[in-house]
Structure 1
Amino acid sequence: MKRRPPITLSASKYSRRAFTLIELMIAIVIILILIGLLVPAIGAVRLRAQQSQVRTEIANLEAAITSFKSDFGIDPPSYIYLYEDGGAAWDQHSKALIRKMWPQFNFGLNRDINNDGDTTDTFELSGGECLVFFLGGVFDSTGKTPNGFSKNPANPFSIASGGTNRQGPYFEFDISRFTDIDNDNAAEYKDAFPSQLLPYLYFSSYGGRGYRTSELPVIPSLGVDVKNVYHQGTPGATLGPAYKLKSFQIISPGADAQYGTGGNYDPAKNFPAGRTVEADNVTNFSSGSLK
């Protein structure tokens, strides 16, 4: 039997069965280009999904405020003092608000609102702190979960570990998203953006009487310097009427965790230099982000 010689490939046939270095480099470049095109697209889809989640949450907060107003006659205020000491001299703004919500409130009663064992504390609640307190209520005896308000009209801030003799909570807060950016032991609530640093802002128009610029947050250490609520009009021009003129504004700082300064906003016009960080803010008067 004759053995056949081993089959050998000619140089031309070998070149047709393997990638050359140039072909391999071209393939890598094409893959990198495709990745470069896909990554931003995937990121944009993820961002829109996160913005939609926050917009839905803001709508749920609006519904909770409606339920609160149904029970207490007014939207939650966005600035108030609460005094534990029954002998304290309540300021007129805070006292008037409490009387509207709880006409039979006993101002002379000592109460331990934060369950720390004394009745000497005074709480200054503003913006997002009011959103948490009035929609969540007094924290339960564990100090971790909002538990609504007592149905005792003279002492709605009494603490309970449970039971049915409560009004609220009006919103189911995720306690892992509570924060306290000004370190005053009053909780605020962060939106659902991953790694969010700042909480929702909340401003009441007090039933149309007007937004109060004195309630706007200034926290230099976090770069927060909100100068006004949002108004209708061209940025930089004279302020137009406020959005949600007779109710309230809720504002998320967006994925970049920056609020901006506020003021005039026109969805058909771009923000000027110095206000571009507001473009991704999500609010209760826009269908998505501001831009």
Structure 2
Amino acid sequence: MLQFEQFVNERTVHVEEMYFENYKEFNTAFLQYTTEFTNLQLAMEKADAKCIEEYKKATTESDRVAISVIYEGTLADFIKRAKEKAAKVIDSVINFIKGVIDKIKTKLGDWYNKFFNKYYELLKSNKVDHVKVPWIKVKEQKLNNISRNFDVPFKYVADCFKAKSDEEFNDALEKLQDSIDVLSKTINDIVRAVNESFKYKEDVEFGKIKARAIERASKKTYKGNLDEMNFLLKCLMDIKKRTSVGIIDNVKTMNNPARSQKIIVVASTLVNMYARYAHTVYKYTMSTYWTARKACTIAINELRSQKEQTNESVSLLDQMLTDM
């Protein structure tokens, strides 16, 4: 009667893979995951409308009871699928950041002994100042970790669960939505600022950006980036636990379909917001690092008169930078 399965299948895009080789693959899959959840939500709304329509048409009590039972089953299925979809979204980011951390630990560190330390004095000299290198005029961004900002909406979620009356629930829900709007603006501002930072690409003389390039490519920055990614991973795991266990699992205890549906949507929104913030932090942190590292590599490689040449592959760095 409710044809929930049909409504879901009409719109669902199935993506199973959650491990990615580069940022482009990850971003594509992440958008598909969020589309999946949106389509699931639309299917539930369609099923909900169909249920109301059929309930109004019902002429006997037994028909109304049957419709209610079907609806409760549909809602239970929706909650189960919603949890799976929300997990997909956050897991896609978690697994990607894990891959980044692994790459930083196992593949990027050798560059310092093989190249950076070896040619450090040469990089600081005026011998490489004339070399043209690709550079991005990145505006310095203070991407303050906003994990604690999520405490506010999670507090109102708890108030929604504790609400005994519709009035209490609606009041808590309104405050919850307001807090999400504030948090969403904060994240949107961060995303916009980071995206703006990468609009200005040009070839410049290494001497003009030497100090910044050396600093951004330094071992200190490398270690700082690793710490940043590890902290980001910890926060992602916390958000996953708070939404999956703290919200979605508790929805089953509400015994109120209308409230449950609204809270599920909130859980998905919070997951998507933090996931978007997380991969924006990654994009800014690692892209500025790769840009500086590439500039240093090219500056040395252009000095053909030097007796020794770096083994660092510029083409590989080009590909890695493209993948950011």
Query: Which TM bucket (shorter chain)?
Result: under 0.3
Taking structure 1 as the reference length, the TM-score comes to: 0.28
Structure ID, larger Rg: 1
Please state which structure has a larger fraction of its residues in strand. 1
Taking structure 2 as the reference length, the TM-score comes to: 0.26
